[in-house]
Structure 1
């Protein structure tokens, strides 16, 4: 049997001479033109390098800029890094001016996190140049920016390249950007001689700042809606952050500082007879975490409209990354042959890896609850990642990664089934592929299965805030009705009146104690307070009868 080459040769031999000559002439002309244009040269793939040099000799003269989490996290991380010997400055929360800078110098079609983050950086560098009078060379040599990165199914994977382009066009070509990889864990991208010592002390200090930042935020959102004196919660939180910043920067024990914070928070007067719907914010990580114009100041707006806000913690994201490692390892253990991928098991001990990941999970949870008890955060439960994965798997495959993955679906289902909140808002940048596919696709099925769910997906573009606020207000009206219904049912079941609660007949109750929390029964906090008081009147009555008998 003839081979394909032999068949082609026979075919060519049967062609007329003029056709063969014509094709040879075309090939010759093509080769000639390619040579003139330089197309016949084998060049390496073009690569746009991002300057990432941060050597030990430059440590004392270099200021590290960073930002992107909540203001509490960024402030505490600044103190933590100062305690490790670095010169650092956290960026202000991005605003609409940052968005303007980002859109001016960035490519079109980017998502909000890119525009706001790089715009915020360029805004600050422009301030250093135009207001403080620093030269471009001085800024490039004495400042650098730390950000997160990833290789995922969305534009997040191109952020660093976009930063490079925007910085170059803004006149800061050569500015250094250090990248921490999200999917593969925190990874140094600056070379062997980097001044960043990513050792156990660094990661432990970083973790402590994240955990305590989450705890402060949880306390703030829990107390602030019920404060009697407006602004007292924020004032107490500012003093708490100062205590903790000092402890971090001076490398002192954190537990005594947390106890001082507890005393500060106990001075806040609250009234939990005010009925407020509890609203959970989920969605794309940056959009649901930022506290500025990047999500239309969503948290502040909800509180101003009479809601109690439940935010997602950064600790939960760390636990999700640990869960991913455990899940992938267990799945890879059943492959016919160990793979040699970066996360593969070839030449590795899978049981040892699972043990390390389990230890990491327990360590994070243990540290969180230790700090929470010290400052007075009670009744706060970190998410069970196995439970979230189990309830979401039927609707969103656990193998699919990108964004929050299956967590958005699982969180909504648990919010409804366990009556955790009265309303759930999913927020993400316009065109966010992972989150939009979930919120606008899968979640529509979830709300059809659970029609009692009050769910609202919103997209952020940096403008159109009025339209977003209007949509939230319409859905929030339903949530307020649901919360009031829960409160009225609790009063009817326990035989209390609003007047009795407001007269504060129960001393040291969750009604007036800022750090006390009621056992969970329904979503509304005020209703849970009523259910918690069910035995206290009988106890007081019993004591009065005992006194009379004596």
Structure 2
């Protein structure tokens, strides 16, 4: 078995670590390039969402490199993500590839279904070893998320552009290479220390912007045109509403338990949207409300072009903006999106936020 997987932010680092730790031969997908996107677009339905097209490019490049097995997450509800694996399987077979696809569906209260699929990967490994590797990978994911969150804070204040990104890349590589929980903790501490030594202007009071939207578009820099990095280097402090550890905890751990629960995010969304619409549409509305309550200057909503759940959220966000007094801008992205156009819109949005902050400060002074 030569196994591969799709890219999705730092999750690909964690997947490589887990699969290698389970003794599998791994064919990591090449870094996402324009060639990757072109391949995916060429062989995908025109109106399929952008993440499916990028994943298709990942799979084609990995299968060309010798992979014979693909591991892929599944999905439920109105979001088309639940159909990705089936559509991609048929397209790849039509292209002449001979491979096996293992789809890990959300447990939905039945953890045994997920474990049954895991057995296809772990037939020659003891469950004790599997659990050990899963726990180690979980610690790595938590560490990577912590490093990423810290980097978003530091980058907005760095004096030399690029210093934060270099420190973060080195820290993530050390976490990925860790062989034990103690090594993960050590890599995390060293990474945090490295980020904290980046030369910063701590007198700077940057704009604070929350990022909401579809999970893949938020997590994968090549899909969102490196939006977090661009904003940080423009002097903006960014907070992402979704991290990989949050998604795993919600969709793989808590969803395996037969519990009825309603998070604070969904409670915040309730006056505007009170039911599941697929994907992260519900969360996009609720997180925007919470960012407004926390005093953020604005919210950026990122979605793939034609994404139904996020289109629902997009239609509701103007009402949230008006009710809670927080500016919101949406970016609907696909293979046609260009960096120059995005930056032009960003600059205009940031100018609006800066003037709004000055106006608000002046009003408070007059009072």
Q: Which moved more, 1:82-91 or 1:220-229?
A: 82-91
C-alpha offsets along residues 63-88 of structure 1, whole Å, 9 cap, x if unaligned?
A: 32223321x33224423443343333
What is residue 5 of structure 2 aligned with on the other side? Answer: 66
1:432: Cα distance to partner? Answer: 0.8
Contact 1:102 1:166 in 2 (8 A): no
1:267: Cα distance to partner? Answer: 2.5
Q: Distance in 1 between matches of 2:239 and 2:293?
A: 17
Whether 1:146 aligns to 2:37 is no
Whether 1:411 aligns to 2:350 is no
Q: Which moved more, 1:115-124 or 1:465-474?
A: 465-474
1:153: Cα distance to partner? Answer: 0.8
Q: Distance in 1 between matches of 2:49 and 2:278?
A: 15
1:111: Cα distance to partner? Answer: 0.7
What is residue 476 of structure 1 aligned with on the other side? Answer: 350
Contact 2:281 2:312 in 1 (8 A): no
Whether 1:240 aligns to 2:175 is no
Task: Give the secondary-structure state (helix, strand or coil) at the position aligned to 1:195.
Answer: coil
Q: Distance in 1 between matches of 2:31 and 2:347?
A: 25
Q: Distance in 2 between matches of 1:76 and 1:150?
A: 20
What is residue 195 of structure 1 aligned with on the other side? Answer: 122
1:481: Cα distance to partner? Answer: 2.7
What is residue 259 of structure 2 aligned with on the other side? Answer: 329
Contact 1:295 1:462 in 2 (8 A): no
What is residue 139 of structure 2 aligned with on the other side? Answer: 208
Q: Which moved more, 1:402-411 or 1:234-243?
A: 234-243
C-alpha offsets along residues 158-196 of structure 1, whole Å, 9 cap, x if unaligned?
A: 111221133224331x22222111363682565855436
Whether 1:430 aligns to 2:299 is no
Whether 1:158 aligns to 2:87 is no
How many residue pairs get aligned? The number is 356
Contact 2:104 2:117 in 1 (8 A): no
Q: Distance in 2 between matches of 1:270 and 1:489?
A: 30
Q: Distance in 1 between matches of 2:360 and 2:138?
A: 38
C-alpha offsets along residues 33-85 of structure 1, whole Å, 9 cap, x if unaligned?
A: xxxxxxxxxxxxxxxxxxxxxxxxxxxxx332223321x33224423443343
Whether 1:223 aligns to 2:154 is yes
1:245: Cα distance to partner? Answer: 2.6
Whether 1:181 aligns to 2:56 is no
What is residue 301 of structure 1 aligned with on the other side? Answer: 230
The alignment yields a C-alpha RMSD, in angstroms, of 3.0
Task: Give the secondary-structure state (helix, strand or coil) at the position aligned to 2:46.
Answer: coil
C-alpha offsets along residues 234-283 of structure 1, whole Å, 9 cap, x if unaligned?
A: 222233223323323x6754223333333323322211223421221111
Call closer, same or farther: CA 1:304–1:156 in 2, change over 3 Å: same
Task: Give the secondary-structure state (helix, strand or coil) at the position aligned to 1:187.
Answer: helix
Q: Distance in 2 between matches of 1:473 and 1:254?
A: 38
1:386: Cα distance to partner? Answer: 3.0
Rg larger for: 1
Unaligned runs of 5+ in 2: none
What is residue 333 of structure 2 aligned with on the other side? Answer: 460
Unaligned runs of 5+ in 1: 1-61, 129-138, 332-384, 494-550
Whether 1:99 aligns to 2:37 is yes
What is residue 266 of structure 1 aligned with on the other side? Answer: 196
Task: Give the secondary-structure state (helix, strand or coil) at the position aligned to 2:267.
Answer: helix
Call closer, same or farther: CA 1:458–1:489 in 2, change over 3 Å: same
Q: Distance in 1 between matches of 2:336 and 2:55?
A: 16
Call closer, same or farther: CA 1:192–1:229 in 2, change over 3 Å: closer
